[in-house]
A and B are shown apart, each in its own frame.
Chain A
């Protein structure tokens, strides 16, 4: 491997010996990072490698215990984001930091020193923002309220925030998680435009494919340390995977994830055996199911069916009714019309608890918001949803001993890393929280399993774990519906993919016919050409 120490004459940004601890956790252990001028610098690593922490230190959100930051050859002290902004550092966070009730313009100008007498001139700023967005190919309506925007557009708002402040270094933390392939391409285009105007970009991801597509230089982190910096031209995906994961045995086990989407350069999925589950009985039948969104507007209107043992994918750009669809199918959101039956039993209209009893299991997209009781222990979290069932109850009381035994065996079976079964869920990492949610879903022995973005934000081993479990569930006859915005994931796992747009199914593809660009076309709402 080639140590690419100094890409330019004098690097734009240099971080040296950064150390950061959170209580007992050493998140960064003497990390160095050098970002040259006019480059897209990839920051690659698994979950908890410390990528976000490092950038938060740079942005002044975290204060490092040790270490020096040099910008333009000048040592700088960054105590808070205000300092970072004044030094020309901009950051797009993994969870967008936006005030939902504000307009795009308000979100962008927030924190600047706009004159206010006799009142703020937001119109003038809106024009400036419109101009910026055309210049970098990030078009968005400056007067729209942020809460109404799709994820992709909110992403642009975040980038515009940094550009508006005249950033020299732009940090993007996993910006592609929610984007369609087209949107990813357009983002990469914008990144190129940004670099061409003299800025540098730090691009955080765990997707090797993306780093290969856009980065000039790559730094790989693992376990709070930098394990290598390489030029893109001088490396291969396998080498990067090796650096990321650290041990070869593991690399081999997770090749599926590492190579996702890369085997066929045009984006065709690996042509494994063609669709096979065609004759199994239909376990789930959904017809004319209509669900409204939180504002009472119809958001999902679908008919579909899933056979036992089949994994059906729902592809679509976030915000096209997936949340409503998932919740309606899980019995969480009341349906306005239509029916949904599992093994012939109609569930529409009954309370959520009946759906759970009926064998529906749901792995929600937002695991922190919808999936766990953060302050409660693993035991309690695993009981959630089954508290009224016979399993954990004796008379009117919960049998905590049995619940505890169940938790302990789940911890083993799902390799949940936790100090003990009574650890509060909030203390666990994202991957482990997802494992709890999966353990809970599978313990119901579901007839119908709904997974919504189950691997979002998970690293390679955890992602592989989810894939394995999902396949195992299908193999045991469960009907699986996988709603995902990650086309690699869908093409990898699914027997069939349905594309939703504006709450309706606009297309269907079977395994063997997958073409990511074509799917992306459908996802963008363009009529089916065929």
Chain B
């Protein structure tokens, strides 16, 4: 008999480069469609509110690209976003939810500022590395607290990281309004760190070198995740912790390590904000990076390679949001709604894609 019966050997999917390119193109297409759909729906809402959606969108797109300044601002915004997205994604690969990027960023920033203020007179080649390293270490330690609570006491990491965020707010407020407060700032802010602690600026308009650092870190994360032994173990734990353990991987350590590395990246983000953007610690400097970082990580589906690109898109949106309010009068809350819609449509594009592929067979 010639009817197909189970189990059918699907014809060997040839692993050609073209095949892989096709898959990539399909994925990118899904993203594009989702973004377009989100903008269409948001546009309808904007129009319903009595504003002009085209003006609004023009504002979003042009802010980042019409001037070098806009681009630099976007790139500056990209840095903390990409780092926080990785801080979420790396533990996620091991099945752990790091909701504490905010706290880790703040504690990292606090430590950087402390180093930069206490040792303000040191020359740049000593102070700058110190400022960055302090941020990284502090972020790592703060994440380690949550990891330790998880490993030693079995406390769910979502719970502990959420609570530790609130603790970090207190720390920043204390440092910025009691310890090294700058009375002239009108807001809990520390005095500036030493000149030597600032990241050098390059280009016109000036861009800080933290951008380069973030690019390098993101690239390193991709390489480590895909090719290195720890990266493999991390993925193995995420794919099946039991099987990983049976095969000699120390699951607890990997999970703790992934959270600590995530914390270190968030801490680096804090350090770069201090050393590159503000030159000091400011209450509220974490913005909404945590949530955006999570969103980016989720939109990128945990793929470290996709994170920087998605982060850039979100940075454009964020930078453009105030322009949208400014030039089209659209309430800035619309950006939240656009972001929500992008997420929804992205997920739906999967469902639709799967249906199409099935019906085309």
Which of the 9-residue segments A176-184, A259-267, A396-404 touches chain B?
A: A396-404
**Given the interface contacts A352-B248, A398-B232, does A373 sit within 8 Å of B240 by beta carbon?**
yes
- Choose from A331, A370, A397, A422 the contact partner of B243 (Cβ within 8 Å): A370
A375→B235 CA distance, assembly (Å): 10
Q: Mark B189-207, 1 if CB is under 8 A from A, else 0.
A: 0000000000000000000
Known pairs A23-B358, A29-B3; A370 contacts B10 (CB<8 A): no
How far, in whole Å, are A348 and B71 apart by their CA atoms in the complex?
60
The CA of A380 and the CA of B238, in the complex, are separated in Å by 13
- The interface residues of chain B lying within 8 Å CB-to-CB of A240 are none
List of B residues within 8 angstroms of A28 by Cβ: 6
Q: Closest B-chain residue to A29, C-beta based?
A: B5
CB pair B5–A224 under 8 Å, yes or no, is yes
Given the contacts A24-B10, A48-B7, A351 and B248 also touching, CB distance less than 8 Å: yes
Q: Which residues of B are found within 8 Å of A429, using beta-carbon distances?
A: 7
CA of A369 to CA of B246, assembled, Å: 10
Interface of B is mostly: loop
Stretch at the interface among A76-84, A105-113, A200-208, A385-393: A385-393
List the B residue with the shortest CB-CB distance to A355.
Answer: B248
* A50, B14: Cα distance in complex, Å: 29
Residues of A in contact (CB 8 Å), total: 48
B1-39 contacts to A, CB under 8 A, are 3-15
Which chain B residues border A384 with CB–CB below 8 Å? 236, 243-244, 247
- One of B8, B235, B240, B249 near A374 (C-beta < 8 A): B240
Q: A372 within 8 Å of B by Cβ?
A: yes
Q: B224-261, CB under 8 A of A: which get 1 and which 0?
A: 00011100110110011011111111100000000000
Smallest CB gap from B230: residue in A: A396
Q: Complex: how many Å from CA A28 to CA B5? A: 8
CB pair B232 A383 closer than 8 Å: yes
A26 touches B228 (CB 8 A): no
Decide if A352 touches B227 in the complex (CB within 8 Å): no
Which residues of chain B have C-beta atoms less than 8 A from A225's C-beta? 5
In this assembly, does B361 line the interface, its C-beta being within 8 Å of a C-beta of chain A? Answer: yes
Interface residues of B, count at CB 8 A: 33
Q: Which residue of A lies closest to B245 (CB)?
A: A332
Cβ of A243: which chain B residues have Cβ within 8 Å of it? none
Say whether B6 contacts A50, CB under 8 Å: yes
Q: Does A356 sit within 8 A of B, measured CB to CB?
A: yes
Instruction: Tell me the nearest residue of chain A to B358, going by C-beta.
Output: A23
Main SS at interface, chain A: loop
Task: Judge whether A385 and B248 touch: CB under 8 Å.
Answer: yes
Indicate if the CB atoms of A332 and B246 lie closer than 8 Å.
yes
Min CB distance B235 to A, Å, is 7
Smallest beta-carbon distance B308→chain A, Å = 21
A370-B246 contact, Cβ under 8 Å, with A388-B229, A419-B13: yes
B246 touches which of A330, A374, A393 (Cβ 8 Å): A330
Q: Given A26, A27, A29, A417, which contacts B9 in the complex, CB threshold below 8 Å? A: A417
Least CB distance, B96 to chain A, in whole angstroms: 16
Report chain B residues within 8 Å CB of A373. 235-236, 239-240, 243-244
Residues of B within 8 A of A420 (CB): 12-15
CA A369 – CA B245 in complex, angstroms? 11
Residue pair A26, B6 in contact (C-beta under 8 Å): yes
Question: What is the CB-to-nearest-CB distance from A84 to chain B, in angstroms, rounded to a whole number?
Answer: 23
Q: Are A223 and B248 in contact, with the CB atoms below 8 A?
A: no
Q: Could you tell me which residues of chain A, from 346 to 387, have a CB within 8 Å of some CB in chain B?
A: 351-353, 355-356, 362, 364, 369-376, 380, 383-385, 387
**Is there contact, CB below 8 Å, between B358 and A27?**
no
Do A419 and B10 contact each other (CB < 8 Å), given the known contacts A376-B239, A398-B227?
yes
* A380 and B246 contact, Cβ closer than 8 Å, known pairs A25-B8, A26-B6, A50-B6: no
Q: Which residues of A contact B11 (CB under 8 A)?
A: 419
Knowing that A332-B246, A369-B243, A419-B9 are A-B contacts, what are 11 other residue pairs whose CB atoms are under 8 Å apart, sorted by A's residue number? A24-B8, A223-B5, A223-B6, A332-B245, A351-B250, A353-B250, A372-B240, A385-B248, A397-B228, A398-B227, A419-B10
3 smallest beta-carbon distances between A and B, as pairs: A385-B247, A353-B248, A373-B239
Could you list 21 examples of A-B contacts with CB < 8 Å? A25-B7, A27-B6, A29-B3, A29-B6, A351-B250, A352-B249, A353-B249, A353-B250, A356-B247, A370-B246, A372-B240, A373-B240, A374-B240, A376-B235, A376-B239, A384-B236, A387-B233, A396-B228, A397-B228, A398-B228, A423-B13
